[in-house]
Structure formats: structure tokens, C-alpha cells
A and B are shown apart, each in its own frame.
Chain A
Amino acid sequence: MSYSPKTNYLSDLTDLELIRKVKSGETQAFDCLMQRYGNRIYRVIYGMVHNYADAEDLVQETFVHAYKGIKKFKEQYQFYTWLYRIAINLCINYCKRKKIIQFTSLANAEFYADKNPKASLEAQELKRVVERQLAQLSNEQKMVFVLRTFEEMSYQEIADILGISVGTVMSRLARARQKLKELLKDYLPKSEKRL
């Protein structure tokens, strides 16, 4: 991403400095924040909703919400934690609205499972299978799994974003992985695979 000369000097500033500038009316600082977190927020939202168009809309909504509420943002917190929380809340609302949990039926899962994955499925198809199995997780499990897998966040960061304990993060992640392991057993390495 190339920065325009106008916003170039802002890219060196920290999140907090940018937020202060936004609060004082310098809207270009918010552009910089969007450039910093746009991709990451999109990945997480996509991991939750599995739909490109809806994910894009939700990312935009997230930043609109953040801009509207930036004056209420307390500086002792991390900006990205606050931003992710907005995104996660919007995703939960979206899922409730669309009942995305039932997005993938078991019939579909079986359809892919019946095929011989090693021989017939290409990488793109495998991705789609994983995506569909991921959609079968509960919202809580999915949130933890997506933040850990897509964003490589630490357990503590996930706990902060979701407002839960590290122990809960660990147990949710373990359950999510266990479930996915069962759903994707045909695509995972056999015993001979070593770390």
C-alpha cells in the first residue's frame, strides 16, 4: 500500500497519536488507521461470515462505528483491541441476523468428504472445504480460532478482545481444533507425518 504525501508523515505515528489527531479533527489520521488495520479486520470478519461482499460491508461498518465512537475511546486500552471488539460484535449481530451458523449443511460436508481429497481436490477446493467446516463451529469457538489462526494473536490478546479469561480461550480453542480435526480428518496427515 502506497501512502500519499499528505498522509506519509502520519504513518510513523503510533495508534494513540493518530487517535489524538482524529479527536482534534484531523481526519487524515483516521485514513492511516484504516490502512493499518483494514486488512486484519477484513480477515477476521471474513473468517466469521465466509462471504466476501458481506465481509467488506462489515469492515466498513466497523470503521464507521470506530470513527463515530472515537471520542469515547479510552486511551489506556489498545486501539486494535477496541477495533476488533467492534468487528466481533458486528459479526455476532450479522450471524444472528443471517443465521450463518446453519450456512453449511451436513449434506455438503459429506459430499466433499466422499471424494478422495488427495487425488481430486485442488488447493482451491480444499480451501472451500475448510471454510465450510469452519462455518460449523459455534460463534464462540470460531472467534477464538479465527483470531488465533488468521491473526496469530496470543491467548492474552484474544482474551482481551473477547473479554474472557485466558483459560476460556484455551478451552474454546482446544474444542474448536478437536471439532475441526474430526471434520477434516481426511485432509489431515496420517500418523507417519512428523512435526
Chain B
Amino acid sequence: MTDCHKIKQKLNAFVDNELSAQERQLVEAHLAQCPLCLKEVATITQLHSLAKEVAPKLSDDYLERLIGQVWLKIRKENLARTQAQRLFFPRFAPILALALTLILVAVIGIKFLTTSPSIKKSKERMVDSTSLPSIAQVEQDKVPTAKGKTEGPKSIISEAKKLETKEVAQAETKSAKTVEGVDLARDQAEQKRQKSIIQKEPLTVLAPLTQRTKLTEEKEMTESWANSSRIDKPKPIEIPKPESPTQSILGRLKQKISAEVIIQALVDTNGMVIETKVFKTSGYGILDTSALKAAKKAKFEPARVRTWVKIPFQFKAPGE
């Protein structure tokens, strides 16, 4: 029976003539002995011929009709595709694309040429003043007597400030030499400003008009001269000493020896601090607050634009 089961699996292939010669001989030998399998072969054959009858008989003109219909459909599809292409890609599309590209290039070019590099830059720049000497440390060097209680920053005048004032004085002398009248000085200032604009030097960009109108004529003149030597980042003029923390905090500091707070301050074009935030905390809220308060009162030599600067404050425990 096992043999019969195996043969049954091959009967379909036998009827369809898909067996190899060896397998065919094997099946034929079995069929000669097994009437059940023979019946199965007969059924498959009968089913095959019965199902074949279902295959449709086609009319003589069918192929001609088919060819005609196929070409009609192909032509219709081609027409529809052409129409769609015309709709989405009209004949003047390349010209339109070229014109749009030219306009785009022109707009970008004009914008690029008219925009000053100083305006392109963000108004608020981050300047890492840690490269500058620590104000508190400078103060310590200059005032060794302050070590007694709390080592904190005192108001100092930087060397940069001194240099700056020298330059301004020279400029003033120069202007006094040429013309004494305010009007002439203003003309000169204006000329210089115009020249600087032509040269597109970012250093000579003036303050906004609204701000300038507020200034007195004298100030404006001075500023115009000072503009030529304006600095890239604010320089500290005066940084007040932070308030002395309580003894308890200072006592705790003994363990740590010293603590440093770095305050980030936004210096406006007048050299005033308009915003402060803690950049690096000391770990003591009271020291941070004290440093923040001191930083708010600090004064700077203004830079060309509003600039963020970092002001380090060092607190040292008494006796250190």
C-alpha cells in the first residue's frame, strides 16, 4: 500500500507526461497491478478533457478586432499622455524656468551686495573673555591689601581704556587743528563715515539713527572719531566688587579654598550691561547672586554690536 501511496502522488505528472522514462516505467508497472490507481488515472484524464471543453472557441474576426482595439487604446493613451505633458510642461516651460532662475539669482545677488557683513553677523556675539586676564586676579595683583577679607574684583581701568582715550584725544587734537567749528567737524565726521561705508569696513558702521539723534553734537562728533577705533569686543572699565558673603559661607569655603563664578553679561553699544546670567556656578547660590549683582553694575568699553562677555569672579576664604 505504501507503494500505491507513492505512485498516487505521481499520477498527475504521469497523465501530464512530466515523468522521466524510469519513473514512467515504474508507474506503468504499478498500474498493471493496481486497479485503484488505474481508476485515478482515468479520472484525471477525464477531468482534463472535460475542463478543456470550457476553453472558449473564438470567432474568425476576433484577432482583427483585437488588433484594431489595441491600436485604438494605444493611440488614446498616447494622446492622453501628450495632453498631460502639455498641461504640466507647456512649450514655454524652459523659458519660464530660465526667467525664474534669473530673477532668483538677481534677487540673491542684490541682497548679498546690499547687506553689510556686519549686519550679516548676528547682533549678539559671544565673546569669550576668559582669554582676557581675570579681572579679580588683576585686582588682586594690584591691590594686595584686599586679601584680608574677601578677594573680589574691584573697579579698574584697563590698559585698553587708556589706549582708547589716548586715541580719542589725538583725534580731537587733529580736528581742532583743522576746523574749530562744530559744523565743519560734523562735515568731516560725515565724510569719514561716507568713506568708511564705501570701503565697507565693518568697524565704521554707525550706531542706529535713533540712537544718534539722542546724542549731543559733541558726543556725536567724539563718537564719529571713536568709531574708527571701535573694538570688536567690549573691554572692562569698571567691575564692582561683589558684596561680601556671610561668614558661614566663607567658613564653608575654607574646605574648598576658593570658588569661582563665571557670569555671562550682555554689553550694549553704550558699554552698559543689560543682561546677566550665570555661566559657571560656584555651587553656592549666594556667591552667584553676589557676582550677578556686581556684574550688572559693571561698565565696559563698548564694542560695535551688543556682545556677550564672560566675567570671572573669584571668592577666596579668609586667611588664604
Contact = CB atoms under 8 A, between A and B. Distances in A.
Interface of A: 1, 31, 34-35, 38-39, 42-43, 46-47, 52, 55-56, 59-61, 63-64, 67-68, 123, 126-127, 130-131, 134, 145, 148-150, 154-155, 170, 173-174, 177, 180-181, 184, 187-189, 191, 193-195
B70 A134 contact: no
A154 B63 contact: no
Interface residues of B, number: 34
B13 A191 contact: no
A127 B54 contact: yes
A188 B70 contact: no
Interface in B65-92: 66-67, 69-70, 73-74, 77
Contacts of B45: 195
A194 B25 CA distance: 19
Interface string B37-64: 0110111111110111111101010110
B232 interface: no
Contacts of B70: 34, 60, 63-64, 67
Given A31-B67, A38-B66, A39-B58, A154 B42 contact: no
Contacts of A170: 12-13, 18
B217 interface: no
A188 B41 contact: no
Interface in B227-259: none
Contacts of B35: 191
A127 B62 contact: no
A193 B13 contact: no
B13 A1 contact: no
Contacts of B275: none
Contacts of B77: 64, 68
A43 B38 contact: no
Contacts, number: 108
Given A127-B54, A134-B51, A149-B52, A195 B74 contact: no
B16 interface: yes
Contacts of B74: 64, 67-68
A134 to B, nearest CB: 6
9 contacts: A34-B67, A38-B63, A61-B73, A127-B53, A134-B51, A188-B43, A193-B42, A193-B46, A195-B41
A130 B42 contact: no
A34 to B, nearest CB: 5
Contacts of B43: 181, 188-189, 193
Contacts of A47: 54-55
B58 A64 contact: no
A134 B54 contact: yes
B12 A188 contact: no
B52 A150 contact: yes
Given A60-B70, A130-B50, A177-B44, A150 B55 contact: yes
Contact of B50 (A35, A39, A126): A126
Given A46-B56, A64-B73, A177-B47, A39 B62 contact: yes
Contact of B56 (A35, A42, A123, A188): A42
Contact of A52 (B44, B52, B53, B56): B56
A158 to B, nearest CB: 10
Contacts of B18: 154-155, 170
A66 B311 CA distance: 78
